[in-house]
């Protein structure tokens, strides 16, 4: 059984450590906030100028001056601070954020990431994605393993890059891959998903971790 | 005590500052902290051929969207313009130019421009099409891209409180690009929700010192829109 979106988010939450400053992208990465372990101190960074981001407000308590990078209404927590956009990206580009979890269109076996434009289609812009992947200490991609039946984990990205050699880990609905000097390595696999299925849906070459328990 | 920086309305505050083909910085992130009344006054002035530096392009009928609808914008310098159908239409018809900047690069270009720094190196965009045609340099084994400081003829910003000197403070995430844009233009006009007496803002809390602000418009009414209203259930 492939992981659901929620299970993928829960798997990504296992990459968080106590005391981390974390930036979550739009889409499935947003769900990671729901799976932070109780008692763990995690500060969520929102690149529009907020550190220490709380959940959505109760109805009637929305504040138009209090939004996240997805322009959604959010709330403060006791640790919250506000700052301007240059300070916000000093946190990102200066390597102060511990982990960035974001979506992708394509990831290559060398860690290249494409997630901001499809030539010929309307380009919306990269927002803060290029800064995040260039500056944050650890970059984790959370995405479906395939799109329209086609692999998204490739030998080389075909789309324009968001960053070159920037991805450290990829979590899909089928498994988890680490990217290091030696390339892509499968380190976790969804229950009852076989290695053959992953191989058939992955264009990139990868090795398999010796510790990995595989389905029969 | 000081020169008078207070103007009765947005139109008066922009008098003498607008001309065709000028470069304008406009604060805000999405619709949060945008100088909405100053944008409407720019539209009403009829100036055209504008280059607008702003993180986003508003939505169709709010914020910078109104300047796009009236076809007064020639070029946008932004990081993300996803929420605007008018924008997409004019861009695809070749009527509007767009220069995408990574959001942090855009912010740092503005910060640098305001601080008299003509260029800086950043790892953001190295190895991507953003770096094409730009100088690159290796520092400690990593490739960095040379980006230029950015300035404008005019910056329009939104603040929460101001005193008559033009010392500004902002509210929550409505701060965003406003303070840095206030440093990076020849003329800076701030619309403010609350104009207070001298001494009513603790000097320790001032975000934008008045030296950066030329003109102030106290807003009579503040119309704040929410782009994505998200709530949670009460249990």
pLDDT tens-digit series, residues A1-56: 999 999 999 999 999 999 999 999 988 999 999 999 999 999 999 999 999 999 99
Task: Kindly report the nearest CA distance between residue A195 and chain B, in angstroms.
Answer: 33
Size of interface A-B (CB pairs under 8 A): 177
User: What is the pLDDT, as a whole number, of residue A48?
Assistant: 97
Q: What share of chain A is helix, strand, coil (3-state, %, to 5)?
A: 20, 30, 50
DSSP H or E segment with residue A74:
none
User: What is the pLDDT, as a whole number, of residue A26?
Assistant: 87
- Residues of A whose CB is below 8 A from B175: 49, 82-84
pTM of the complete model = 0.96
Contacts of B155 (CB under 8 A, 6+ apart): B24, B25, B26, B27, B181, B182, B184, B185, B187, B188, B189
What is the arithmetic mean of pLDDT over A169-174?
A: 98
Structure tokens at A71: 């322009």
Contacts of B126 (CB under 8 A, 6+ apart): A134, A163, A164, B136, B142, B143, B144, B145
pLDDT tens-digit series, residues B53-84: 999 999 989 999 999 999 999 999 999 998 78
User: Does A120 have pLDDT greater than 70?
Assistant: yes
Record: contact A48-B79, CB cut-off 8 A = no
Of B111, B125, B230, which is closest to A72 when you measure between CB atoms? B230
User: What is the pLDDT, as a whole number, of residue B235?
Assistant: 72
Mean per-residue pLDDT over chain B, rounded:
96
Residue of B nearest to A116 (CA): B80
- Residues of A whose CB is below 8 A from B232: 55-58
Q: Residue B36: is it exposed, middle or buried by C-beta count within 10 angstroms (0-12/13-18/19+)?
A: buried
CB neighbours of residue B4 within 10 Å: 9
Q: How confident is the model at residue B2 (pLDDT cuts 50, 70, 90)?
A: low
User: What is the pLDDT, as a whole number, of residue B89?
Assistant: 87
Across chain A, which distance is largest between two alpha carbons, in Å? Answer: 54
Would residue A47 show up in a list of annotated catalytic residues for this protein? yes
Residue of B nearest to A71 (CA): B228
Spot the catalytic one: A15, A38, A47, A76.
Answer: A47
Record: contact A65-B102, CB cut-off 8 A = no
User: What is the pLDDT, as a whole number, of residue B1?
Assistant: 55
Residue of B nearest to A53 (CA): B173
User: What is the pLDDT, as a whole number, of residue A81?
Assistant: 98
User: What is the pLDDT, as a whole number, of residue A27?
Assistant: 85
CA distance B232 to A58: 5
User: Does A87 have pLDDT greater than 90?
Assistant: yes
Tally of residues, chain B: 235
pLDDT tens-digit series, residues A184-213: 999 999 999 999 999 999 999 999 999 887
pLDDT tens-digit series, residues B102-147: 999 999 999 999 999 999 999 999 999 999 999 999 999 999 999 9
Record: contact A125-B124, CB cut-off 8 A = no
Mean per-residue pLDDT over chain A, rounded:
95
What is the arithmetic mean of pLDDT over A131-139?
A: 98
ipTM for the assembly: 0.96
What is the arithmetic mean of pLDDT over A109-113?
A: 97
User: What is the pLDDT, as a whole number, of residue B86?
Assistant: 87
Record: contact B176-A129, CB cut-off 8 A = no
Of A55, A125, A164, which is closest to B127 when you measure between CB atoms? A164
- Residues of A whose CB is below 8 A from B219: none
Of B92, B125, B226, which is closest to A130 when you measure between CB atoms? B125
């Amino acid at each position: 059984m492939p992981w659901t979106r929620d299970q993928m988010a829960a798997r990504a939450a296992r990459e968080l450590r106590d005391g981390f400053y974390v930036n979550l992208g739009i889409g499935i990465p947003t769900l990671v906030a729901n799976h932070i372990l109780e008692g763990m101190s995690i500060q969520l960074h929102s690149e529009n100028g907020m550190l220490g981001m709380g959940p959505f407000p109760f109805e009637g308590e929305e504040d138009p001056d209090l939004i996240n990078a997805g322009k959604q209404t959010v709330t403060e927590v006791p640790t919250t601070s506000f700052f301007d956009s240059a300070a916000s990206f000093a946190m990102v580009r200066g390597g102060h954020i511990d982990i960035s979890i974001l979506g992708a269109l394509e990831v290559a076996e060398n860690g290249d990431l494409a997630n901001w434009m499809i030539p010929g289609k309307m380009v919306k812009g990269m927002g803060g994605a290029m800064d995040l992947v260039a500056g944050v200490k650890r970059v984790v991609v959370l995405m479906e393993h395939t799109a329209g039946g086609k692999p998204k984990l490739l030998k080389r990205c075909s789309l324009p890059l968001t960053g070159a050699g920037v991805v450290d880990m990829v979590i899909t609905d089928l498994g988890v891959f680490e990217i290091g000097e030696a390339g892509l390595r499968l380190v976790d696999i969804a229950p009852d998903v076989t290695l053959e299925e992953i191989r058939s849906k992955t264009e990139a070459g990868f090795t398999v971790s010796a510790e990995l328990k595989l389905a029969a | 005590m000081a020169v008078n920086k207070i103007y009765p309305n947005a139109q008066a505050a922009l008098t003498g500052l607008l001309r065709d083909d000028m470069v304008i910085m406009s604060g805000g992130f999405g619709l949060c902290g945008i100088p909405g009344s100053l944008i409407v006054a720019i539209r009403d002035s009829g100036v055209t051929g504008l280059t607008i530096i702003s993180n986003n392009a508003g939505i169709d009928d709010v914020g910078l969207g109104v300047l796009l609808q009236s076809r007064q914008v020639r070029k946008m310098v932004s990081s993300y313009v996803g929420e605007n159908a008018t924008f997409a239409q004019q861009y695809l018809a070749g009527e509007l130019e767009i220069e995408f900047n990574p959001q942090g690069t855009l912010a740092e270009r503005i910060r640098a421009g305001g601080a008299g720094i003509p260029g800086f190196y950043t790892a953001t965009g190295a190895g991507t099409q953003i770096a094409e045609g730009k100088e690159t340099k290796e520092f400690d084994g990593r490739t960095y891209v040379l980006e230029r400081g950015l300035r404008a003829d005019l910056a329009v910003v939104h603040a929460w409180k101001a005193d008559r000197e033009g010392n500004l403070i902002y509210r929550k995430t409505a701060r965003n690009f406003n303070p840095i844009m206030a440093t990076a233009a020849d003329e800076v006009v701030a619309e403010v929700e609350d104009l207070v007496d001298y001494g009513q803002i603790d000097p320790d809390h001032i975000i934008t010192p008045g030296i950066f602000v030329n003109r102030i418009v106290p807003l009579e009414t503040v119309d704040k829109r929410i782009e994505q209203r998200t709530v949670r259930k009460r249990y």
